[in-house]
Amino acid sequence: MEATLSHYFGYDTFRPGQKEIISKIISHRNVLGVLPTGGGKSICYQVPGLMLGGTTIVISPLISLMKDQVDQLKASGISAAFLNSSLTQKQQKAIEQQLLNGEIQFLYVAPERFDNDYFISLLHQLPIRLVAFDEAHCISKWGHDFRPSYQDVIYKVFDLPQDFAIVALTATATAEVQKDIMSRLNINKADEVKTSTKRRNLVFKVNPTYQRQKFVIDYVNQHKQEAGIIYCSTRKQVEELHEALEDNNVNSTIYHAGLTNKERERAQNDFVYDRVRVVVATNAFGMGIDKSNVRFVIHYNMPGDMESYYQEAGRAGRDGLKSDCILLFSERDIGLHQYFISSSKADDDYKDKMGEKLTKMIQYTKTKKCLEATLVHYFEPNEKLEECQQCSNCVRENKTYDMTHEAKMIISCIARMKQQESYGVIIQVLRGELTDYIRYCEYDKLSTHGIMKDYTTSDLSHLIDELRFKGYLNENDEILTCDSNVKSLLNAEKVVFTTPFKRKSKEKVSINTVEGVDKALFDELKGVRQKLSEQLDIAPVSVFSDYTLEEFAKRKPESKQDMISIDGVGSYKLKHYCPKFLETIQSYKAQI
């Protein structure tokens, strides 16, 4: 397993969750993998596909996603192809013949391709060992990007005669969506693999500025060497912001559904191939765009739900380097999404669900708690939380209220209860309320009953949330328990600060830079990568990611043996790509 990973992809170890998913697939079990954006979902079907042999069918929602994935595989010396409407009849026939000849290991198709009877008959003749559902949240009605065609294809997959495993992969699935996917694909609960949504290289920021256009222009000009995506809610805003950037000498392109297929493809390629560094787009852009060196994602408007926001923001920093995810928020954004929901032709249940999701999104823009922890809690309520210490809320200098005394009272109350209780019951006891349940449990006899009677329910919720987000309290199915680290508070080893309960403060946006890299060499290596990209007609990051180039610029390897130890350098790339980079590094070192 590790040998396959190292040989083709240049990595010595798997990321969290990958090995477990691959092991289950090799054992012929259907699996659901929920990994964060940029967490290496593709590896989860590519490695077992290579190990199992035969043909792996990858069901993918977008043409752009297919092309990127196929380019990446070919760049690693792996045979892959896609069948979709962008190909001519002659090109499709050639690929079909290659499939029958056993010359293609990975075939990418859209779910609609299964409506074609000839394609189904072709599949019957292939040695299929694995079927992968990429962006699997599209399967569920409750997913943020539901596509009926994804549900329709499931029955046709199950009707295929071959004996194969199924893997479904997504980054943005709530517990409800995960359950729905597993039910439809016959995946057992024991075969669900989830990892944390945390991506510590992403710095989340919310900025309620009224001068959005000025903010974007200033930010982009301060990050002139960096690639980024700016999302707007409407086509009109995309075009206006694009014009403003061009007027300020920022080379950018636009992407939205109102452009022709050719215009969209050109815009996407200009961005992926580093011909422009900024793309201004609606949410029509980005799913599956495999450009690992996106250093910032700015949302010009608030999205309608947390899933969309996290997926779009998560397109930053896929190479693991520090990247900014900035949400510019205005109250006007709320009305637009309320209009989208009310004018939808969906049923009332769906509208209600979308309304709930919008409420959660609004809460994210207004919370004073850690933004990363807020996102983690949304997708996995039972995960232990901790503050990231880098989001705009964590670095904000407004946690001036020492709540250590209140923290001790809350912890003492929870510790004295004879069983684990929910937020609501704990607050009632602290406030000294008398209910039948409190009397039945004899909580009214506790010394902590009414110990915080002068605090409102809202105050106590704020204080308990602060302890929860700092990791002093843990939550499991809405039940709160004390973490072992509360001893440090009770023993006066630590103090806890929070925001004054009703005070508002202004946000600051800090700038993060990468240190320890020889920037002059890095720029030269980028030039080498660009030339190789143009010669091979593949995206620059398919040659090597920014992360790998930065490692080259830090370590200055002198031989292929030095290079193979760097993440992202596999046997194929070592042989075909590395000589050019070694030559550049040696030449550079000779001049300094």
Per DSSP, the residues of 469-520 read HTTSEEEETTEEEE-GGGHHHHTTS---EE--TT-------------S--HH
Domain 519-591 falls in which CATH fold? DNA polymerase; domain 1 (1.10.150)
Q: Residue 395 and residue 387: Cα distance in Å, rounded? A: 10
| Secondary structure of residue 175 in the 3-state scheme | helix
For 21-48, letters b (16+ CB in 10 Å) and e give bbebbeeebbbbbbbbbbbbbbbbbbbb
* Two tokens, residue 95: 């690929």
Query: What is the DSSP code (8-state) at residue 105?
Result: S
In CATH terms, 202-379 corresponds, of 3.30.450.20, 3.40.50.300, 3.30.1490.20, 3.90.950.20, to 3.40.50.300
Rounded Cα gap, residues 23 and 1, in angstroms = 9
| Terminal-to-terminal C-alpha distance of the chain | 42
- What pLDDT does residue 507 have? 37
The span from the CA of 362 to the CA of 244, in Å, is 28
Evaluate whether 121 touches 98 at the Cβ level (below 8 Å): no
Pairing of strands 31-34, 192-194: parallel
pLDDT of residue 517: 78
Q: Do domains 401-498 and 519-591 have the same CATH topology?
A: no
Instruction: Provide CATH code, domain 401-498.
Output: 1.10.10.10
Predicted local distance difference test score (pLDDT) of residue 291: 83
Domain regions of the chain by residue span:
2-194, 202-379, 401-498, 519-591
- For the record, the structure tokens of 4 come out as 């396959």
> What is the Cα–Cα distance from 78 to 105, expressed in whole angstroms?
7
Distance from C-alpha of 21 to C-alpha of 31, rounded to nearest angstrom: 7
Segment-wise mean pLDDT, segments of 10 residues, the chain, 592 residues: 89 90 94 84 93 93 78 90 88 92 93 91 94 90 77 91 93 86 93 89 91 93 94 92 92 90 88 92 75 93 91 89 93 84 81 87 91 91 90 88 93 91 90 90 94 90 91 88 90 88 42 58 92 89 87 88 83 89 89 74
Token digits for 583?
């030559």
Write down the pLDDT at residue 515: 45
The fold adopted by the segment(s) 2-194 is Rossmann fold (3.40.50)
Residues paired with 132 in a beta bridge: 58, 167
Q: Give the per-residue pLDDT at 516.
A: 64
Report d(CA 532, CA 526) in Å as an integer: 10
| Inter-residue contact 312 to 350 (CB < 8 Å) | no
> How is the chain split among helix, strand and coil, in percent rounded to 5?
50, 15, 40
